[in-house]
Amino acid sequence: MVRPGGVDERLEVLRSNVDVDEGDVHSCLLVRPTLAAPACQTSRVAVFVYDQPILERFPTIVGGVVHAVGLANGPAPPDLVEGFRAEQAGVLERLGTRPLSELPSVAAWRRTFRGFGVDPTAYRSAVEALLRRLSKQGSIPSINTLVDLGNLVSIRHALPVAVFAQRAVPGSTTVRFATGSELFTDLGSGERERVQPGEVIFVDDAGLVCARRWCWRQALETAARPETTEVLVTVEGHHDGARADVAAAIADVEGLLRRYTAPARVSSLVPEFPV
Protein backbone atom coordinates (compact mmCIF):
# COMPACT_ATOMS: atom_id res chain seq x y z
CA MET A 1 0.00 0.00 0.00
CA VAL A 2 3.07 2.24 -0.15
CA ARG A 3 3.81 4.33 -3.18
CA PRO A 4 7.39 5.51 -3.84
CA GLY A 5 8.39 7.99 -1.17
CA GLY A 6 7.48 6.15 2.03
CA VAL A 7 4.61 5.59 4.38
CA ASP A 8 3.39 9.20 4.44
CA GLU A 9 2.35 8.83 0.80
CA ARG A 10 -0.29 6.31 1.87
CA LEU A 11 -2.51 9.37 2.07
CA GLU A 12 -2.55 9.35 -1.72
CA VAL A 13 -3.77 5.79 -2.15
CA LEU A 14 -7.27 6.43 -0.84
CA ARG A 15 -10.26 8.11 -2.39
CA SER A 16 -13.07 9.61 -0.33
CA ASN A 17 -16.74 9.24 -1.25
CA VAL A 18 -18.87 11.46 0.97
CA ASP A 19 -22.63 11.95 0.84
CA VAL A 20 -23.64 15.17 2.58
CA ASP A 21 -26.23 17.88 2.41
CA GLU A 22 -25.04 20.75 0.22
CA GLY A 23 -22.63 22.97 2.12
CA ASP A 24 -22.80 20.81 5.26
CA VAL A 25 -19.97 18.33 5.74
CA HIS A 26 -20.50 16.16 8.82
CA SER A 27 -18.13 13.27 8.40
CA CYS A 28 -14.69 12.61 7.08
CA LEU A 29 -12.75 9.35 7.03
CA LEU A 30 -9.00 9.31 6.91
CA VAL A 31 -6.51 6.45 6.78
CA ARG A 32 -3.15 7.97 7.54
CA PRO A 33 -0.11 7.83 9.83
CA THR A 34 -0.71 9.46 13.22
CA LEU A 35 2.18 11.87 12.61
CA ALA A 36 0.02 13.78 10.13
CA ALA A 37 -2.80 16.05 11.24
CA PRO A 38 -6.34 15.49 9.92
CA ALA A 39 -6.82 17.26 6.61
CA CYS A 40 -10.43 18.26 7.15
CA GLN A 41 -11.95 20.27 9.96
CA THR A 42 -15.60 19.29 10.38
CA SER A 43 -18.31 19.32 12.99
CA ARG A 44 -18.39 15.54 13.16
CA VAL A 45 -15.22 13.68 12.28
CA ALA A 46 -14.65 9.93 12.19
CA VAL A 47 -11.03 9.05 11.61
CA PHE A 48 -9.50 5.62 11.11
CA VAL A 49 -5.75 5.64 11.67
CA TYR A 50 -2.87 3.22 11.21
CA ASP A 51 -0.14 4.15 13.67
CA GLN A 52 3.17 4.58 11.87
CA PRO A 53 4.93 1.57 13.47
CA ILE A 54 2.08 -0.63 12.17
CA LEU A 55 2.61 0.66 8.64
CA GLU A 56 6.33 0.08 8.88
CA ARG A 57 6.11 -3.50 10.14
CA PHE A 58 3.16 -4.52 7.95
CA PRO A 59 3.67 -2.66 4.65
CA THR A 60 1.22 -4.89 2.79
CA ILE A 61 -1.83 -3.73 4.77
CA VAL A 62 -4.73 -2.47 2.66
CA GLY A 63 -7.64 -0.92 4.52
CA GLY A 64 -11.06 0.33 3.54
CA VAL A 65 -13.57 2.03 5.83
CA VAL A 66 -17.19 3.12 5.80
CA HIS A 67 -18.76 5.56 8.27
CA ALA A 68 -22.56 5.66 8.33
CA VAL A 69 -24.85 7.75 10.53
CA GLY A 70 -28.61 7.89 11.02
CA LEU A 71 -29.04 4.14 10.55
CA ALA A 72 -32.14 2.09 11.23
CA ASN A 73 -30.97 -1.26 12.60
CA GLY A 74 -33.04 -4.17 13.93
CA PRO A 75 -33.95 -7.71 12.90
CA ALA A 76 -32.74 -8.46 9.39
CA PRO A 77 -35.56 -8.17 6.81
CA PRO A 78 -36.58 -11.39 5.04
CA ASP A 79 -34.83 -10.59 1.76
CA LEU A 80 -31.53 -9.89 3.55
CA VAL A 81 -31.84 -13.15 5.49
CA GLU A 82 -32.58 -14.98 2.24
CA GLY A 83 -29.63 -13.33 0.50
CA PHE A 84 -27.33 -14.17 3.41
CA ARG A 85 -28.40 -17.82 3.28
CA ALA A 86 -27.87 -17.93 -0.47
CA GLU A 87 -24.40 -16.43 -0.05
CA GLN A 88 -23.54 -19.05 2.55
CA ALA A 89 -24.61 -21.84 0.20
CA GLY A 90 -22.54 -20.36 -2.61
CA VAL A 91 -19.46 -20.00 -0.41
CA LEU A 92 -19.76 -23.60 0.79
CA GLU A 93 -19.96 -24.77 -2.81
CA ARG A 94 -16.93 -22.71 -3.84
CA LEU A 95 -14.87 -23.88 -0.89
CA GLY A 96 -15.65 -27.55 -1.31
CA THR A 97 -13.00 -29.50 0.57
CA ARG A 98 -10.31 -26.85 0.15
CA PRO A 99 -8.55 -26.05 3.45
CA LEU A 100 -9.24 -22.48 4.59
CA SER A 101 -5.52 -22.00 5.13
CA GLU A 102 -5.06 -22.17 1.35
CA LEU A 103 -7.20 -19.08 0.73
CA PRO A 104 -4.74 -16.24 -0.04
CA SER A 105 -6.46 -13.78 2.29
CA VAL A 106 -6.61 -16.23 5.20
CA ALA A 107 -3.00 -17.31 4.67
CA ALA A 108 -1.90 -13.66 4.67
CA TRP A 109 -3.70 -13.00 7.95
CA ARG A 110 -2.02 -16.04 9.46
CA ARG A 111 1.37 -14.61 8.50
CA THR A 112 0.38 -11.24 9.92
CA PHE A 113 -0.70 -12.72 13.25
CA ARG A 114 2.64 -14.50 13.53
CA GLY A 115 4.28 -11.16 12.77
CA PHE A 116 3.09 -9.75 16.10
CA GLY A 117 3.62 -12.94 18.08
CA VAL A 118 0.18 -14.57 17.96
CA ASP A 119 -0.48 -18.20 17.02
CA PRO A 120 -3.10 -17.95 14.22
CA THR A 121 -4.44 -21.43 14.95
CA ALA A 122 -5.09 -20.55 18.59
CA TYR A 123 -6.50 -17.11 17.77
CA ARG A 124 -8.00 -17.11 14.28
CA SER A 125 -8.68 -14.01 12.24
CA ALA A 126 -12.35 -13.04 12.20
CA VAL A 127 -12.79 -14.14 8.60
CA GLU A 128 -11.16 -17.53 9.16
CA ALA A 129 -13.28 -18.09 12.28
CA LEU A 130 -16.45 -17.18 10.38
CA LEU A 131 -15.66 -19.39 7.39
CA ARG A 132 -14.63 -22.20 9.72
CA ARG A 133 -17.96 -21.96 11.52
CA LEU A 134 -19.79 -22.05 8.20
CA SER A 135 -17.79 -25.06 7.00
CA LYS A 136 -18.30 -27.03 10.20
CA GLN A 137 -21.90 -26.10 11.03
CA GLY A 138 -23.29 -25.49 7.55
CA SER A 139 -24.82 -22.11 8.35
CA ILE A 140 -24.34 -18.81 10.15
CA PRO A 141 -27.39 -17.56 12.09
CA SER A 142 -29.01 -14.18 11.53
CA ILE A 143 -28.36 -11.70 14.36
CA ASN A 144 -29.48 -8.27 13.14
CA THR A 145 -29.27 -6.23 9.96
CA LEU A 146 -25.86 -4.67 10.60
CA VAL A 147 -24.21 -7.87 11.79
CA ASP A 148 -25.73 -9.90 8.96
CA LEU A 149 -24.59 -7.55 6.20
CA GLY A 150 -21.10 -7.47 7.68
CA ASN A 151 -20.95 -11.25 7.83
CA LEU A 152 -22.35 -11.56 4.31
CA VAL A 153 -19.64 -9.32 2.87
CA SER A 154 -16.97 -11.07 4.94
CA ILE A 155 -17.72 -14.57 3.62
CA ARG A 156 -18.29 -13.31 0.07
CA HIS A 157 -14.86 -11.70 -0.16
CA ALA A 158 -12.99 -13.84 2.42
CA LEU A 159 -11.97 -10.69 4.30
CA PRO A 160 -12.48 -9.60 7.91
CA VAL A 161 -15.31 -7.07 8.13
CA ALA A 162 -15.71 -5.34 11.50
CA VAL A 163 -18.86 -3.34 12.26
CA PHE A 164 -18.11 -1.01 15.17
CA ALA A 165 -20.98 0.80 16.85
CA GLN A 166 -19.76 4.37 17.31
CA ARG A 167 -20.18 6.19 20.57
CA ALA A 168 -21.43 9.76 20.91
CA VAL A 169 -17.97 11.32 21.28
CA PRO A 170 -16.38 12.07 17.88
CA GLY A 171 -12.77 11.10 17.38
CA SER A 172 -10.40 8.59 15.88
CA THR A 173 -9.96 4.84 15.95
CA THR A 174 -6.26 3.97 15.87
CA VAL A 175 -4.67 0.64 14.96
CA ARG A 176 -1.50 0.38 17.05
CA PHE A 177 0.67 -1.91 19.12
CA ALA A 178 -0.50 -2.42 22.71
CA THR A 179 1.64 -1.30 25.63
CA GLY A 180 0.17 -3.95 27.92
CA SER A 181 -1.62 -1.43 30.15
CA GLU A 182 -4.88 -1.52 28.16
CA LEU A 183 -8.03 -3.35 29.25
CA PHE A 184 -10.47 -5.09 26.89
CA THR A 185 -14.01 -6.38 27.42
CA ASP A 186 -14.49 -9.54 25.37
CA LEU A 187 -17.59 -9.54 23.17
CA GLY A 188 -18.04 -13.29 23.58
CA SER A 189 -17.51 -13.76 27.32
CA GLY A 190 -18.03 -10.25 28.65
CA GLU A 191 -14.88 -10.68 30.73
CA ARG A 192 -12.54 -7.77 31.36
CA GLU A 193 -8.94 -8.65 30.51
CA ARG A 194 -5.58 -6.99 30.04
CA VAL A 195 -4.12 -7.10 26.55
CA GLN A 196 -0.61 -8.37 25.90
CA PRO A 197 2.23 -5.96 25.11
CA GLY A 198 2.96 -5.85 21.39
CA GLU A 199 -0.33 -7.24 20.13
CA VAL A 200 -2.22 -5.16 17.58
CA ILE A 201 -5.28 -3.37 18.95
CA PHE A 202 -7.90 -0.85 17.81
CA VAL A 203 -8.26 2.03 20.31
CA ASP A 204 -10.53 5.07 20.29
CA ASP A 205 -9.71 8.54 21.61
CA ALA A 206 -11.32 7.76 24.96
CA GLY A 207 -8.99 4.78 25.45
CA LEU A 208 -11.55 2.09 24.70
CA VAL A 209 -9.91 -0.99 23.17
CA CYS A 210 -12.37 -1.69 20.35
CA ALA A 211 -10.65 -4.85 19.07
CA ARG A 212 -7.63 -6.95 20.00
CA ARG A 213 -5.22 -9.20 18.11
CA TRP A 214 -6.02 -7.01 15.08
CA CYS A 215 -9.09 -8.75 13.64
CA TRP A 216 -9.56 -11.53 16.19
CA ARG A 217 -12.26 -10.16 18.50
CA GLN A 218 -14.28 -6.96 18.96
CA ALA A 219 -15.07 -5.39 22.30
CA LEU A 220 -18.47 -5.77 23.95
CA GLU A 221 -18.95 -1.99 23.85
CA THR A 222 -18.66 -1.89 20.05
CA ALA A 223 -21.28 -4.54 19.24
CA ALA A 224 -23.94 -3.48 16.73
CA ARG A 225 -27.26 -3.68 18.58
CA PRO A 226 -30.86 -3.00 17.48
CA GLU A 227 -30.58 0.56 18.78
CA THR A 228 -27.30 1.30 16.96
CA THR A 229 -27.57 4.34 14.67
CA GLU A 230 -23.93 4.98 13.75
CA VAL A 231 -21.18 2.58 12.69
CA LEU A 232 -17.62 2.48 11.48
CA VAL A 233 -17.07 -0.53 9.22
CA THR A 234 -13.54 -1.69 8.44
CA VAL A 235 -12.35 -4.14 5.78
CA GLU A 236 -8.67 -5.13 5.64
CA GLY A 237 -6.33 -7.45 3.79
CA HIS A 238 -2.64 -8.23 3.33
CA HIS A 239 -2.65 -10.61 0.36
CA ASP A 240 -1.75 -9.99 -3.28
CA GLY A 241 -4.89 -8.58 -4.84
CA ALA A 242 -6.13 -7.14 -1.55
CA ARG A 243 -6.56 -3.68 -3.03
CA ALA A 244 -9.19 -4.80 -5.52
CA ASP A 245 -10.81 -7.18 -3.04
CA VAL A 246 -11.07 -4.55 -0.30
CA ALA A 247 -12.51 -1.99 -2.74
CA ALA A 248 -15.14 -4.50 -3.90
CA ALA A 249 -16.04 -5.37 -0.32
CA ILE A 250 -16.39 -1.71 0.65
CA ALA A 251 -18.70 -1.16 -2.33
CA ASP A 252 -20.83 -4.08 -1.12
CA VAL A 253 -20.94 -2.69 2.42
CA GLU A 254 -22.08 0.69 1.12
CA GLY A 255 -24.72 -0.84 -1.12
CA LEU A 256 -26.14 -3.04 1.62
CA LEU A 257 -26.17 -0.20 4.15
CA ARG A 258 -28.07 2.03 1.74
CA ARG A 259 -30.53 -0.71 0.88
CA TYR A 260 -31.28 -2.04 4.35
CA THR A 261 -30.51 0.66 6.95
CA ALA A 262 -31.57 3.93 5.24
CA PRO A 263 -28.57 5.91 6.52
CA ALA A 264 -28.71 9.69 6.61
CA ARG A 265 -25.08 9.90 5.52
CA VAL A 266 -22.43 7.47 4.31
CA SER A 267 -18.72 8.19 3.84
CA SER A 268 -16.08 5.78 2.63
CA LEU A 269 -12.42 5.41 1.80
CA VAL A 270 -11.26 2.74 -0.60
CA PRO A 271 -7.91 1.83 -2.20
CA GLU A 272 -7.42 3.70 -5.45
CA PHE A 273 -3.90 3.38 -6.83
CA PRO A 274 -2.06 0.20 -7.81
CA VAL A 275 1.09 -0.78 -5.94
Segment 41-59 shows an average pLDDT of 78
Percent of the chain residues topping a pLDDT of 70: 80
- Phi-psi region for residue 180, left (φ > 0), alpha (ψ -120 to 50) or beta? left
Domain 7-271 has CATH 3.30.420.40: no
Segment 133-141 shows an average pLDDT of 98
Query: What pLDDT does residue 189 have?
Result: 86
* Residue 219, phi then psi, degrees to nearest 5: -80, 150
- State the burial class of residue 201 (Cβ atoms within 10 Å of its Cβ: 0-12, 13-18, 19+): buried
Asked if 106 and 269 touch (Cβ cutoff 8 Å), the reply is no
Q: Is the pLDDT of residue 5 over 90?
A: no
The number of CA neighbours under 13 Å toward the Cβ of 105 is: 25
**Which of 215, 224, 213, 46 lies closest to 149 in space, CA to CA?**
224
Q: Is the pLDDT of residue 54 over 60?
A: yes
Give buried/exposed letters for 81-100 (b at 16+ CB in 10 A, else e).
Answer: eebbeebbeebeeebeeeeb
Q: In whole angstroms, give the CA distance from residue 63 to residue 196.
A: 24
- Residue 159, CA distances (Å) to 57, 112, 130, 149 in order: 20, 14, 10, 13
Percent of the chain residues topping a pLDDT of 90: 73
Q: In whole angstroms, give the CA distance from residue 212 to residue 218.
A: 7
Query: Which DSSP symbol is given to 186?
Result: B
Confidence band, pLDDT 50/70/90 cuts, at residue 168: low
Higher-confidence residue of 109 and 16: namely 109
